[in-house]
Amino acid sequence: MAEYYLGLMSGTSMDGIDAVLVDLQNARPELVCAQTFAWPDAIRQQLSQIVDQPEVVSLHSLGQLDALTGETFAYAAQSLAREAGIAAEDILAIGSHGQTLFHAPNSTPAFSHQCGDPNRIAEITGITTVADFRRRDIAAGGQGAPLVPAFHQAVFSSPDQDRAVLNIGGMANLTVLPGKAAPVLGFDTGPGNVLMDAWHRRHRHDPYDKGGAWAAQGECLSALLETLLEHPFLQQVPPKSTGREVFCANWLDEQLGRLRLTSPAKAEDIQRSLLEFTARTIADAVRRHAAGTRQLLVCGGGAHNTLLMQRIAEFLGDIEIASTEDFGLHPDWVEAVAFAWLAKATLQGQPGNLPSVTGASHPVVLGAVYFA
């Protein structure tokens, strides 16, 4: 008997809502249907504004945004189920990550805030909804992130080989899966696409640099690269996680200001430097924390950036780089499938966090359940 779950994810890139319908009856998830739904322009603008200037948001607009994003998630789920031809009553649950507005794992007290009211998702779809995955891990002393490593372990690990999974979303995160009985490691390496997207949007008025084609026209500015590499997050030892509160356009502007370039830099040279920075920080993290890894499985939108992938491969030399697609799951849908899988774990009363990854004091059942 099929066990249908639906996963909803909108990451830090805010490029859209990834919705997946999966059959989780076997250990290997079977993707039934998947689609990315664009945020309505007005909502996307409000989301970007809040993330870029969190200090100016009013409680009234935050409350309304939570409701509106919840409705949008619900319509995405409904539309996907319709497309798949699967009735709501045949879907056991929705796992909804929500949209992160602020992730502050190191503040005192720590917190992580996602919007996308799950009450509305359950009410509109008539499907039991699991949401608010991060805060229980934080309450247990963890970073609340990354939460995908347990899923990566279940689906991509091999008993005979050390592997690592790299997700290049807005931020980039690495899961180290030792072949032997050693604990799984997982952490954010730093920015994924976020800086390249911000620079591209500013200069080319388009959300991202397809294939890294624009970056390919520029040359890396070594002074800028060295300045960016000084960020203290990069030297921190895991557990660690980050977000747009740290790596964003404002931070980039500050670093450009620090440089005091004698002549104005060409925009494409800066784009190339940001690509090099992203590739370097990822490769450094693999070398430092996944030394035994011979195979790196890549997912997330950054997997489509040909030049970025080429530079990561050049930095990593003899490590084989593959797409998660070669291991049964298309790179665009891994994160959303992970939240469908985490919803199932929650409903079964199974912990979804890995304390070796998040730093939590113990395994916890993640999220809250909103019954249909």
Q: Is 116 annotated as a binding residue?
A: no
Tell me how far, at minimum, the Cβ of 60 lies from ligand ATP, in Å.
27
Q: Is 72 in the site for ligand ATP (CB under 6 A)?
A: no
CB within 8 A of 215, min separation 6: which ones?
Answer: 196, 209, 268, 271, 272, 274, 275, 307, 308
Q: Is 13 annotated as a binding residue?
A: yes
Question: Which 7-36 residues touch Mg ion, going by CB under 5 A?
Answer: 11, 13, 15
Place of tokens 């388009």: 206
By CB under 6 A, name the one of 105, 144, 301, 355 that touches ligand ATP. Answer: 301
Dist CA 295 CA 176 (whole Å): 10
Q: Is 54 in the site for ligand ATP (CB under 6 A)?
A: no
Is residue 271 within 8 A of residue 214, CB to CB? The reply is yes
Helix, strand or coil for residue 34?
strand
CB nearer to ligand ATP: give 73 or 86: 73
Tell me how far, at minimum, the Cβ of 22 lies from Mg ion, in Å.
17
CB nearer to ligand ATP: give 209 or 276: 209
Q: What is the 3-state secondary structure (H, E, C) of 151-218?
A: HHHHHHCECCECEEEEEECCEEEEEEECCCCCCCEEEEEEECCHHHHHHHHHHHCCCCCHHHHHHHCC
- Give 161's DSSP letter: B
**Region from 8-16, 79-87, 123-131, 216-224 binding ligand ATP, contact rule CB under 6 A:** 8-16
Is residue 308 within 8 A of residue 212, CB to CB? The reply is yes
Q: Which amino acid is at 213?
A: A
Q: Is 121 annotated as a binding residue?
A: no
Q: Is 171 in the site for ligand ATP (CB under 6 A)?
A: yes
Tell me how far, at minimum, the Cβ of 200 lies from ligand ATP, in Å.
8
Is residue 298 within 8 A of residue 331, CB to CB? The reply is yes
- Give 244's DSSP letter: T
Tell me how far, at minimum, the Cβ of 271 lies from ligand ATP, in Å.
12
Question: Which 139-168 residues touch ligand ATP, going by CB under 6 A?
Answer: 167
Q: Is 300 in the site for ligand ATP (CB under 6 A)?
A: yes
Q: Is 332 in the site for Mg ion (CB under 5 A)?
A: no
By CB under 6 A, name the one of 70, 144, 170, 351 that touches ligand ATP. Answer: 170
Dist CA 33 CA 47 (whole Å): 27
Q: Is 12 annotated as a binding residue?
A: yes
Dist CA 189 CA 233 (whole Å): 9
Residue 309: both structure tokens together = 């992938």
Per-residue contact flags (x/-) with ligand ATP for residues 245 to 284, judged by CB under 6 A: ----------------------------------------
Q: Is 14 annotated as a binding residue?
A: yes
Helix (H), strand (E) at residue 21: strand 17-23
Residue 272: both structure tokens together = 């190339």
CB nearer to ligand ATP: give 301 or 367: 301
Cα–Cα distances in angstroms (integers) from residue 4 to residues 90, 98, 119, in the given order: 7, 20, 20
Q: Is 1 annotated as a binding residue?
A: no
Q: Is 7 in the site for ligand ATP (CB under 6 A)?
A: no
Q: Is 96 in the site for ligand ATP (CB under 6 A)?
A: no
Residues in binding contact with Mg ion, number by CB under 5 A: 3
CB within 8 A of 164, min separation 6: which ones?
Answer: 174, 175, 176, 177, 286, 290, 293, 295, 296, 297
**Where do contacts with Mg ion occur on this chain (CB under 5 A)?**
11, 13, 15
The residues of the shown chain that bind ligand ATP, judged by CB under 6 A, are 9, 11-13, 15, 167, 169-171, 193, 197, 207-211, 300-302, 304-305, 335
**Which residues carry a binding-site annotation for ATP?**
11-18
Indicate the annotated binding residues.
Answer: 11-18
